[in-house]
Chain A
Amino acid sequence: MNNPSDVPGGDLPWLDATGPDSALVVSTRVRLARNLAGRPFWGRNSPLDREGVVRVVESAADESPGLTGAVMVRVDGLSKRERSLLHERQVISRELAGLDASGRVRSGAGLLLGTTASVMLNEEDHLRIQAFRSGFALAAAHADAAGAEGELGQRLSFAFHPEFGYLTSCPTNVGTGLRASVLMHIPALVMTREAAKVLHGLGQVGLTHRGLSGEGSEALGHLFQLSNQTTLGKSATELLDHLGRLVRQVVEYEERARIALRRDAPTALDDQVWRAWGVLRHARALGFEEAVTLLSSVRLGVGMGILPAVARPILNRLLVLAQPAHVAQDAGTGLEDEALAMHRATVVRRLLADTEGGG
């Protein structure tokens, strides 16, 4: 698996900016946690148990017409670079990739990659079924994940309790096992110092938000991931509707903040956007955080008509392609700090040169 773009979904369709509200919403992810009945959870299972999970899921997938073409990746057989690439693409968690504090990849760690959904195997739950969609598309992402879940569920017996619902290793996921996340770009709310207030005011029943894939500070690239906190007591539809309403509100607030920004500080805004564009087009070394911060200004500039015609899919994909393992992959060698920053700048310049914007 030398080139991750050769696998299903490898061209990152969920970052192609074709989905609804793509100006402000980068992507939507829905995951369903499922466990196999009668088998110990992660933490109390043996390498043999974990192999059993991989085996039964693989054969269930083979028999599922809806999962034709799905590829089983043995994460525990991959190099650190390959695991990092998958993690940067968000298809596997830091823990499954063995990039957490433990620094070890667990035996049986697997990934079933389909065209519309993927399944992490032997993560905290036996199955973590995930689907990604471009833009703000909760129902579509859920339909993708539920489709794969339904196919597998016809052939596997999931642990289910008549009162508690789908049983999970951690009680915070029990019931629907559903976690939906919407990755939003809200720079104007941050710049007008409204973000904290807005996110604050939305918490009627509990909403969590965190930075881009948990990296660095919450405001890195002005990207926030909003997700449901509870999984039990409401149907999947209710949970998605609730999160969707909150996202819709944040979109409206961001649009209002952009109007205020243009009214109150048009020159500073113009300068910031063009300056970011200039640095990204000409810098010879870029850190990841710096690149993402500058990309945020460019993205804002495109959204507000300050910069013409920079292709949004490229801005989205750079969120993945500017990360360390991807930059190293592009260079074809292992790179350390300085060389990595230099090659990142090269990657950014090359991709931005492909767009016609900026003049």
Chain B
Amino acid sequence: MSLCVDCHQREAVVHLTQAEGGEVRTLHLCSRCAAERGVATDSEVGETPLGAFLAAMGSGGAMLAAAAAPDVHCPACDATLGDFQASGRLGCPTCWETFDRPLRELLRRVHGATRHVGEAPGGTTEGAAALSMPQQVARLEAVLAAAVAAERFEEAAELRDRLRLMREAAE
């Protein structure tokens, strides 16, 4: 059994391979320390906070700015950024608006991106209209792949035609 490289106490169950500055390395972590580094290990880490990770990255400018305003409460669920830092979990969908700036910074670090690409709810036109052209194309591609995988070929042919039209329109 190998021990977690962070806490040197618990067993390492998560093995994170990452590229940093052109160098590839693997970190052996217990699920708690993995969660603290913002590594998703699925539901096995339910009680373990992303909070410490957040606190650790608190030296980032955006986090400091937010931390300087600890009194901001989410208007929908009353959660504060401090609650998020302690639990690693947001309180409700509105928290994503309330804490937009620090979350954006966090997303950049965790995912290397802040913008969703792909499916939107229900394939509604409202959902689609809110998406940029490349997002709509990506979303259709995903639907197409799903249709092909499920062997719904008629639907797939139709989607393929729609995709072609969208790409032509984009050019």
Chain A residues with a Cβ under 8 A of chain B: 31, 35, 37-44, 93-96, 100-102, 123-124, 128, 139-140, 142-143, 146-147, 150, 153-154, 157-167, 169-176, 179, 181, 196, 199-211, 214, 217-218, 227, 229-238, 240
Contacts A38-B93, A203-B24, A237-B141; A95 near B47 (Cβ below 8 A):
yes
A154-B91 Cα distance, complex, nearest whole Å: 25
Q: Are A230 and B150 in contact (CB under 8 A)?
A: no
Query: What is the total of A-B residue contacts with beta carbons within 8 Å?
Result: 232
Between-chain CB contacts (< 8 Å), 27 pairs: A38-B76, A41-B93, A123-B43, A142-B145, A143-B146, A163-B114, A171-B50, A171-B103, A171-B110, A174-B116, A175-B113, A176-B116, A176-B119, A199-B17, A200-B24, A203-B24, A208-B16, A209-B15, A214-B31, A218-B2, A218-B15, A230-B113, A233-B114, A233-B116, A235-B142, A236-B118, A238-B117
Chain A residue at smallest Cβ distance from B38: A172
Chain B residue at smallest Cβ distance from A34: B121
With a cutoff of 8 Å between Cβ atoms, the chain A residues found around residue B123 in the complex are 150
With a cutoff of 8 Å between Cβ atoms, the chain B residues found around residue A207 in the complex are 17
A contacts with B: majority SS: loop
With a cutoff of 8 Å between Cβ atoms, the chain A residues found around residue B112 in the complex are 205, 230, 233
Q: Which of B1, B26, B43 contacts A93 (CB 8 A)?
A: B43
Q: Which of A37, A150, A230 contacts B93 (CB 8 A)?
A: A37
Chain A residue at smallest Cβ distance from B150: A143
Q: Are B40 and A163 in contact (CB under 8 A)?
A: no
With a cutoff of 8 Å between Cβ atoms, the chain A residues found around residue B92 in the complex are 39-41, 44
Q: Are B116 and A175 in contact (CB under 8 A)?
A: yes
Q: Are B90 and A171 in contact (CB under 8 A)?
A: yes
Q: Are B14 and A140 in contact (CB under 8 A)?
A: no
| B11 contacts partner chain A, Cβ-Cβ < 8 Å | yes
With a cutoff of 8 Å between Cβ atoms, the chain B residues found around residue A100 in the complex are 46-47
Per-residue A-contact encoding for B95-122, CB less than 8 Å = 1, 0 else: 0110000010011001111111111111
